[in-house]
């Protein structure tokens, strides 16, 4: 069975099967990730992905142990193209970023808070370009679903993906720049999640700033991220 991509996301609540009709505001995934640096929890990301008749919304809030808080919301069309991406820093200072399509490309407006000048950065990228903000790990799950839809099939013996890694151009709003991400299937591994052994598909994600191991469970939901070089681990709570 070949993966398909209705609106933006795979309907992960039914592994490898997709509903003919999508109810309004159906929750595709929600929950939280614990963010650990060298074994110590430093932040929590709370998230929700909803799919509705006209598209999808992807929302996250990242709250550090010291109270620093950021939020993001991404709106997408039924084809998965960007309608709007918004980022807010609430603590310790206030700042905002908004990305919208303009004249067939993407336009990023940056407001760094009180008494700071608002400025705009144009990006020669189409509305179909994935958003991969440094601050939100949920965006990696969404990008993985795009990869699954284009490169993988479900077989009786398990997931089968193209042997050649797939490259994606992405926009990184936190850096106000574009980048390149390469994703390839690595292996099937059993890992511990909430004290239980879970059979996962592992993927290698290579970015301009480092390499990540991405683990998806049998519903293709993100359960773990590892960036060993910097001592970072993200686990689904």
Task: Give SS3 for 142.
Answer: helix
Domain covering 26-84+128-236, topology: YmcC-like fold (2.40.360)
Q: Looking at residue 14, what is its pLDDT?
A: 28
Please, which residues have CB within 8 angstroms of residue 195's CB and are 6 or more apart in sequence? none
Report the distance separating Cα 115 and Cα 215, nearest Å.
43
Q: pLDDT by residue (tens digit) across 118-154?
A: 999 999 999 999 999 988 999 999 999 999 999 998 8
Nearest to 65 by CA among 88, 41, 87, 47: 41
Domain boundaries, the chain: 26-84+128-236
Q: pLDDT by residue (tens digit) across 163-222?
A: 899 999 999 998 999 999 999 999 999 998 888 899 999 999 999 888 999 999 989 999
Q: pLDDT by residue (tens digit) across 3-17?
A: 433 333 333 332 333
Report the distance separating Cα 4 and Cα 20, nearest Å.
12
Mean local confidence (pLDDT), 72-87: 94
Q: Say which DSSP state 165 is in.
A: P
pLDDT surpasses 60 at 39 = yes
> What are φ and ψ of residue 122, in 5° steps?
-85, 145
**What is the pTM (predicted TM-score) of this model?**
0.87
């Amino acid at each position: 069975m070949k993966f398909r991509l209705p609106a933006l996301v795979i309907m992960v609540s039914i592994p490898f099967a997709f509903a003919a009709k999508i109810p309004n505001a159906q929750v595709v995934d929600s929950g939280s990730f614990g963010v650990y640096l060298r074994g110590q929890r430093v932040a929590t990301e709370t998230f929700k992905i909803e799919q509705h008749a006209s598209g999808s919304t992807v929302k996250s809030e990242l709250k550090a142990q010291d109270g620093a808080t950021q939020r993001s919301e991404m709106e997408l069309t039924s084809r998965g193209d960007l309608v709007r991406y918004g980022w807010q820093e609430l603590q310790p200072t206030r700042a905002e970023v908004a990305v919208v399509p303009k004249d067939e490309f993407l336009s990023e407006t940056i407001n760094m808070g009180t008494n700071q000048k608002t400025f705009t950065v144009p990006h020669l990228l189409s509305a179909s370009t994935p958003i991969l903000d440094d601050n939100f790990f949920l965006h990696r799950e969404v990008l993985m679903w795009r990869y699954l839809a284009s490169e993988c099939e479900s077989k009786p013996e398990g997931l089968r993906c193209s042997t050649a890694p797939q490259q994606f151009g992405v926009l990184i709003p936190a850096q106000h720049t574009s980048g390149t991400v390469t994703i390839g299937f690595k292996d099937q591994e059993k890992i511990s999640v909430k004290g239980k052994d879970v059979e996962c598909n592992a993927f290698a994600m290579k970015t301009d700033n480092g390499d990540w191991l991405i683990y998806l469970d049998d519903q293709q939901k993100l359960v773990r991220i590892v960036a060993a070089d910097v001592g970072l681990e993200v686990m689904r709570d």
